[in-house]
Chain A
Amino acid sequence: MNTSVNRLNSTFMRYHVETREAQWRFKLPPKFRVKIYNNCVNVQECVQACVYNVHRVGEDGRVAEPVEELCRGCHRCTLSCPKGAICVELNPAFERLGDSYFTPERIENIFFEAETGRVPVSGAGYGGAFSGRGFDSFWFDFSEIVRPTRDGIHGREYISTSVDLGRKPHNLFFDDSGNLVSKVPENIEIPIPIILDAPLSSSSKSNLNLALAKSASILNTFAIVSADDYSDDLSDYGSNLILRIGPNEARKVAGLIKTSPIVELDYADNALDENRITDDLRFVRKVNPAALVSARFLGEDSVTEKSEASVKVGVDMIHLHVEDETVVHDPDVVKRIIRGTHTRLVERGIRDQVSIVFSGGIAEAAHVPKSIILGADAVAIGLAYEIALGCKVCHGSKHEAGCPLKVEEGDVELASQRIVNLVGSWRDQLLEVLGGMGLREVRRLRGELGRAIFFEELEMKIFGDEDDSE
């Protein structure tokens, strides 16, 4: 029998992600570059001043080469040097990381989260832009007096982060003696609204897939794996894998379909063809009636129609995917795609017949609850875990020159721990958000636009001519 992830055990276990220090084989370039100019006269004021041990006295009794990776950019050494011989500047190698969306700071945070599993905490107020685009164009609404919070952060109150994948019946029918006569569709509950998308990079996938499968099984969630990349190593993790099959591939991989709890039909590169979806769906259902079937579409403006059509023919899940590179150039696309699709399905009265998984542009922990507020049930992360494993965010353009993302055979364990750490940290941050909102479970956050404050709306309300009819 195919084992869905959450056959409820008889004993209740509180979901907990076990994080462990996991250092990757290389570090990010340090954020700051510390230079000591030639006019240093070795008074060693910098050694006295630095609380982070960047400046030390070397064996020759002189100020040694600064340890740049410890520098936190506090400027104390520069100010305390009577000769002005120290200059702390932004490291160009750090500045070059990523791009305008996957910024060096986001990459640094992902690295920290993957290494430690902890929540990034800092002092002083927020120093960034007033607002931004896409996920940055709205804030959470924590209404502390009107809706008291839940204390899940310190573990005293349980906040559930579980979500369901699959369709839910609109209503149930009972016979005269009160017995259920409706057929209740299969649902799979995952304890976090995060699944792991199939790797985007082209090289050395097999170890990476193994690491993903391991992480998914530790986290009790799913990893998506392409039928092409399926290897025997993965068979142990079958119950935590979503099998992705391309168009016209279904018949070739019937054996795999048979053992997969979820099958994803990938229509990302294709125009809408209801007949084909219907065909594929019928085939999968015949081979494995228990499997959930997901349809994956590329998030473009026509995706709302595609989604609606595929719900009507009976898929259980929709995976909306936006290329990360698209989000970099147009961050608002995430809002249009998720909110648009969710709203359309709600208007048609069919939203609960399908689960929506969103992927693309998920670059920080806040993007998970934000996607859910916009209307997704869960998100699939891709580039985020790849960054944790060394991806340099080239969006495929430099892959021929050798992708730095390589998981060696001996690194599988470490890689999977880093993914677990990353997801664990993001879950803790999700708990903070839910706790602050006074929500007991993440399911209630789906499509709750009332829990968000949108920059454009407020800006118009306060500073625009709102009620002018011009």
Chain B
Amino acid sequence: MIQSRLAFKVPEVKPAVSKEPFRIGKFEVLLDRSKCTACGLCAQVCPTYIGSAIVEYEAFKKPSGILRVTNARAMCEGLVCRKCVESCPTKALTVRINPQYLILGDKRWTADLILSTWEQAESGKPSGRYEYRVGDSGGGFDKIRFDFELEEEVSINEIFEAEDRDTSIVLNRRRDGRPEISIPIPVYSADMSFGSISLRVMVARAIAAKAWNTFTSTGEGGYPNELIPFKDHVITQVATGHFGVNAETVKRARIVCLKYAQGAKPGLGGHLLADKVTPKVAEIREVVPYISLFSPFPFHNVYSVEDHYRHVQLIKDINPKALVSVKVSTPIDVDMVAIGSYYAGANILQVDGGFGGTGAAPDIAKKNIAMPIEYAIPMVHNYLVKEGVRDEMVIMASGGIRTAFDVAKIIALGADGAVIGTSELVALGCKRCGNCERGRGCPSGIATTDHALSLLIDPEWGAQRIINMYCSWKKQWNYILSKLGLSSIRELRPKNEVKFRKGRFNHLVHLDHLR
């Protein structure tokens, strides 16, 4: 039942620029108006941006004060150029690193990663001005490189000239009579509920998933009717709250995900604060509006591996054609959990690492609980290899996977593919400010249920941005595979145990252990 790969056509990149009039750049130019004589020399020497249209005449009529002249839509070359500063006869200009750039993002999602993801979402290609591969967390992915990255500078043009490689993966390898669903890229999009994110964002993600012939997921907040047209590309999630879970929604899906835990807050269950439980959210979840919702923890009908088996079988009985995915977090014995899920009959094991996203979680949980995915995947992979069942299970990694290179690295560490959440939201304009849970929710209209705010995201536009990002990622995977001399991304996954020697394994280099 392998789907015809010929029928699938890679979606096209179409420009989807930000609707905001301004943009945050890395550098900015300040003009001291009391010194400026409006001679216009700066505009003449600037290779990229200061044009007459930007330094408006209007502004000069004001006698004093500081004016910001950067139009960040254009690209200031910053401290290496300084042509405008040097040419100014009255020394009225200063170039500096934009203080806004400095506060954007955090150690994991640096300002560079956010800005480069925005670039990819707009044009299907990073400009190369910003780091687009790794963050600055000081460990894990951020310390791992492919060996070719150490040898030479990777140029963007080279990436985008690489020829097409097979990046598809199959989501069922059990030969259990269920469909062998294949997706053309090694990722599908993560579970985010209606309630944590807006309906328009869910629809945008579903359109993108359909265009890429992959999947998105309902999350635990029920199955809104608006997603039914995309039902072949929507995973129904069954979580502990059972919001909106019924035979109909389970039967509708080609993949059903049993969510046991979430990497950002394992052991704590879901939490949707009262403000975000609008009447529409309440209706789908079958609850009372404006009351905080807790998903209990855990599934109280699953206390043992035998219960787990019955749980998986229950879903399989309800929907004989669906694949069952089991989503777990990363305790130290995650390998035992993995083998348990194998024997319970799961087709896909989604391992959600400790640095994953969330709509709301106590800070103590996000920082302190569970392993990062970079450790969990090799552990699970090695254990399943030892047990001789690795080739029957599909392992999807999630939680802290931000870039195309992260995806390739986690596959080289033993996963089959990855599940992407936050990156898609960043493509839609998320700035990682972390205010998703408060009041009306996300000020950018993504993680919100407020009607007025959610209108900020147009589903078609949003979908195109996600499509563009994956177009860019696809090119980067092509490039990595061609650099490594592999014809398929499935060859990147190690066949045997993951074992680093002198900081190297399977084309990967860990900078802290390199000898």
CB-CB under 8 A from B439, the residues of chain A are 51
Interface centre among B105, B331, B510 (most CB of A within 10 A): B331
Complex CA gap A79/B104 in Å reads 12
Interface centre among A81, A88, A148, A462 (most CB of B within 10 A): A462
- Is B303 a contact partner of A122 (Cβ separation < 8 A)? no
- Is A149 a contact partner of B267 (Cβ separation < 8 A)? yes
Q: Which residue of B lies closest to A31 (CB)?
A: B103
Contact of A436 (CB < 8 Å), options: B268, B333, B435: B268
CB-CB under 8 A from A464, the residues of chain B are 500, 513
Complex CA gap A384/B329 in Å reads 32
Answer whether residue B47 sits at the interface, using C-beta atoms and an 8 A cutoff: no
* A125 and B357 in contact, given A73-B103, A74-B433, A463-B510 (Cβ under 8 angstroms): yes
- Is A78 a contact partner of B361 (Cβ separation < 8 A)? no
- Interface hit among A138-146, A285-293, A407-415: A138-146
Complex CA gap A72/B432 in Å reads 11
- Is A129 a contact partner of B137 (Cβ separation < 8 A)? yes
Answer whether residue A121 sits at the interface, using C-beta atoms and an 8 A cutoff: yes
CB-CB under 8 A from A146, the residues of chain B are 331, 333, 336-337
- Is B139 a contact partner of A75 (Cβ separation < 8 A)? no
- Is B328 a contact partner of A145 (Cβ separation < 8 A)? yes
- Is B109 a contact partner of A127 (Cβ separation < 8 A)? yes
- Is A366 a contact partner of B367 (Cβ separation < 8 A)? yes
- Is B107 a contact partner of A127 (Cβ separation < 8 A)? yes
Q: Which residue of B lies closest to A123 (CB)?
A: B436
- Is A123 a contact partner of B22 (Cβ separation < 8 A)? no
- Is A78 a contact partner of B296 (Cβ separation < 8 A)? no
- Is B363 a contact partner of A74 (Cβ separation < 8 A)? no
* A119 and B362 in contact, given A126-B108, A462-B374 (Cβ under 8 angstroms): yes
Complex CA gap A83/B500 in Å reads 53
Interface residues of B in 135-189 (CB under 8 A from A): 137-140, 142-143
Answer whether residue A313 sits at the interface, using C-beta atoms and an 8 A cutoff: no
- Is A429 a contact partner of B362 (Cβ separation < 8 A)? yes
CB-CB under 8 A from A122, the residues of chain B are 360-361, 363, 366, 434-437
- Per-position binary interface string of chain B over residues 45-59, scored 1 when its CB falls under 8 Å from any chain A CB and 0 otherwise: 000000000001011
CB-CB under 8 A from B66, the residues of chain A are 37-38
Answer whether residue A174 sits at the interface, using C-beta atoms and an 8 A cutoff: no
* A121 and B433 in contact, given A146-B331, A435-B268 (Cβ under 8 angstroms): no
Interface centre among A84, A139, A370 (most CB of B within 10 A): A84
CB-CB under 8 A from A433, the residues of chain B are 364, 368
Interface residues of B in 433-485 (CB under 8 A from A): 433-440, 442-444, 447, 453
- Is B364 a contact partner of A365 (Cβ separation < 8 A)? yes
- Is A435 a contact partner of B260 (Cβ separation < 8 A)? no
Contact of A142 (CB < 8 Å), options: B99, B329, B434: B329
Answer whether residue A154 sits at the interface, using C-beta atoms and an 8 A cutoff: yes
Answer whether residue B38 sits at the interface, using C-beta atoms and an 8 A cutoff: no
Complex CA gap A427/B100 in Å reads 37
Q: Which residue of B lies closest to A434 (CB)?
A: B267
- Interface hit among B67-75, B199-207, B216-224: B67-75
CB-CB under 8 A from B332, the residues of chain A are 141, 143, 450, 453
CB-CB under 8 A from B512, the residues of chain A are 459, 463
Complex CA gap A122/B106 in Å reads 14
* A74 and B298 in contact, given A80-B21, A122-B437, A463-B503 (Cβ under 8 angstroms): no
Answer whether residue A308 sits at the interface, using C-beta atoms and an 8 A cutoff: no
Complex CA gap A80/B456 in Å reads 12
CB-CB under 8 A from B433, the residues of chain A are 72-75, 124
Answer whether residue B266 sits at the interface, using C-beta atoms and an 8 A cutoff: yes
- Is A366 a contact partner of B364 (Cβ separation < 8 A)? yes
CB-CB under 8 A from A151, the residues of chain B are 296-297
Q: Which residue of A lies closest to B296 (CB)?
A: A151
- Is B68 a contact partner of A126 (Cβ separation < 8 A)? no
Contact of A87 (CB < 8 Å), options: B20, B99, B436: B99
- Is A436 a contact partner of B369 (Cβ separation < 8 A)? yes
Contact of A84 (CB < 8 Å), options: B68, B365, B400: B68
Contact of B267 (CB < 8 Å), options: A80, A123, A144: A144
User: What distance in Å separates the Cβ of A52 from its nearest Cβ neighbour in chain B?
Assistant: 7
Complex CA gap A139/B375 in Å reads 13
- Is A75 a contact partner of B362 (Cβ separation < 8 A)? no
- Is B364 a contact partner of A41 (Cβ separation < 8 A)? no
* A463 and B500 in contact, given A121-B362, A129-B139, A145-B308 (Cβ under 8 angstroms): yes
- Is A129 a contact partner of B267 (Cβ separation < 8 A)? no
- Is B359 a contact partner of A123 (Cβ separation < 8 A)? yes
* A436 and B266 in contact, given A124-B436, A149-B298 (Cβ under 8 angstroms): yes
Complex CA gap A199/B195 in Å reads 46
Interface residues of B in 301-334 (CB under 8 A from A): 302-303, 305, 308, 328-329, 331-333
User: What distance in Å separates the Cβ of B273 from its nearest Cβ neighbour in chain A?
Assistant: 8
Q: Which residue of A lies closest to B25 (CB)?
A: A84
- Is B267 a contact partner of A82 (Cβ separation < 8 A)? no
- Is A432 a contact partner of B364 (Cβ separation < 8 A)? yes
- Is B362 a contact partner of A90 (Cβ separation < 8 A)? no
Answer whether residue B355 sits at the interface, using C-beta atoms and an 8 A cutoff: yes
CB-CB under 8 A from A131, the residues of chain B are 138-139
Contact of A145 (CB < 8 Å), options: B340, B378, B432: B340
Complex CA gap A162/B137 in Å reads 37
User: What distance in Å separates the Cβ of A155 from its nearest Cβ neighbour in chain B?
Assistant: 11
Answer whether residue B9 sits at the interface, using C-beta atoms and an 8 A cutoff: no
Answer whether residue B264 sits at the interface, using C-beta atoms and an 8 A cutoff: yes
* A144 and B363 in contact, given A79-B24, A84-B71 (Cβ under 8 angstroms): no
Complex CA gap A131/B331 in Å reads 16
* A109 and B369 in contact, given A74-B443, A144-B297 (Cβ under 8 angstroms): no
CB-CB under 8 A from A140, the residues of chain B are 368-370
- Is B501 a contact partner of A124 (Cβ separation < 8 A)? no
CB-CB under 8 A from B294, the residues of chain A are 154
CB-CB under 8 A from B361, the residues of chain A are 121-123
Answer whether residue A120 sits at the interface, using C-beta atoms and an 8 A cutoff: yes
* A84 and B103 in contact, given A121-B362, A126-B366 (Cβ under 8 angstroms): no
Answer whether residue A381 sits at the interface, using C-beta atoms and an 8 A cutoff: no
- Per-position binary interface string of chain A over residues 107-132, scored 1 when its CB falls under 8 Å from any chain B CB and 0 otherwise: 00100000000011111111111110
* A130 and B140 in contact, given A84-B72, A432-B365 (Cβ under 8 angstroms): yes
- Is B379 a contact partner of A144 (Cβ separation < 8 A)? no
CB-CB under 8 A from A127, the residues of chain B are 105-109, 432, 434
Answer whether residue A465 sits at the interface, using C-beta atoms and an 8 A cutoff: yes
- Is A142 a contact partner of B266 (Cβ separation < 8 A)? yes
User: What distance in Å separates the Cβ of B57 from its nearest Cβ neighbour in chain A?
Assistant: 12
CB-CB under 8 A from A364, the residues of chain B are 364
Answer whether residue B102 sits at the interface, using C-beta atoms and an 8 A cutoff: yes
User: What distance in Å separates the Cβ of B65 from its nearest Cβ neighbour in chain A?
Assistant: 4
- Is A41 a contact partner of B102 (Cβ separation < 8 A)? no
Complex CA gap A331/B260 in Å reads 35
Complex CA gap A432/B268 in Å reads 7
Given contacts A126-B367, A130-B372, A146-B337, 19 further A-B contacts (CB under 8 A): A38-B59, A38-B65, A39-B59, A76-B444, A80-B20, A84-B22, A84-B68, A84-B72, A85-B68, A120-B363, A123-B447, A125-B422, A130-B139, A140-B368, A142-B370, A144-B261, A148-B298, A462-B378, A468-B501
Give 8 CB contacts A-B under 8 Å. Answer: A78-B24, A127-B106, A141-B331, A143-B331, A149-B267, A149-B298, A435-B267, A450-B332
5 tightest Cβ-Cβ pairs between the two chains A and B: A123-B436, A130-B139, A436-B267, A127-B106, A89-B99
